Chain A
């Protein structure tokens, strides 16, 4: 129960942060990516602001065996890169640029994103469902 309560709280703060920072506004995201247009540096401030508390949290986490609620902490980061990581990141970046939405803001803007936001979410979920066989194919291709 406590886990769900804190998950709700974390999701709420995350959503508020996305709205406050302007990341639910697709023009700000596309403005950041558009280095040859009217470049908007906001996203750099958002990412730097987000990394700071998280860098401290990882240091605290390193000294703990379990979370405050007693669950296991995430393991060490996987050092392997691989074709799925690169291909996936390129595809994600393309979609992110086309619409100016990534998964967090897409969900955060559900109630005010209109039909366009809803359509994006449906297409994103469909993409997520389509991903496993593509991932398997890439892994197979990589191993060959």
Chain B
């Protein structure tokens, strides 16, 4: 199964890009996960809240059904609550400061050659890589 991972990555990637293309062409919206959720959390996207809730409902429900059918869906997330809370806070603050995450800056930004999207992606990849080196190989805590 391991050697097939890249094919599933490509297929899943095409689905992610297809969803983003649909959301752009049909709804006229940029598919950014942090922005869609963030606008609901802080109330800044109140006028489009129904569309945001519908998107998130699909995002939660379809994997829920697929996970039941597949039977072995796992996130394999760490069991260290301190790491989880720190990571969640960093992702929440960071994506709102940067106005985007992997889907908004990475998928939707890079595909239109947006300088902000490219710069954001370079910085979050570098930061993620540095965290892996320091916390996994030097400090050995994740």
Contacts and interface: CB of A to CB of B under 8 A. Distances in A.
B63 A15 contact: yes
Given A77-B114, A78-B116, A97 B13 contact: no
Contact of B33 (A104, A109, A125): A104
Interface string A70-105: 011110011111001111111111111111111111
Nearest to A11: B58
A27 to B, nearest CB: 5
Q: Say whether chain A's binding surface is mostly helix, strand, loop, or mixed.
A: helix
A17 B105 contact: no
Contacts of A4: 50-51, 53-54
Nearest to A68: B26
A18 B63 contact: yes
B101 A17 contact: no
Given A19-B66, A85-B99, A100 B77 contact: yes
Q: Lowest 3 A-B CB distances belong to which pairs?
A: A127-B92, A49-B13, A21-B12
A91 to B, nearest CB: 3
A68 B24 CA distance: 9
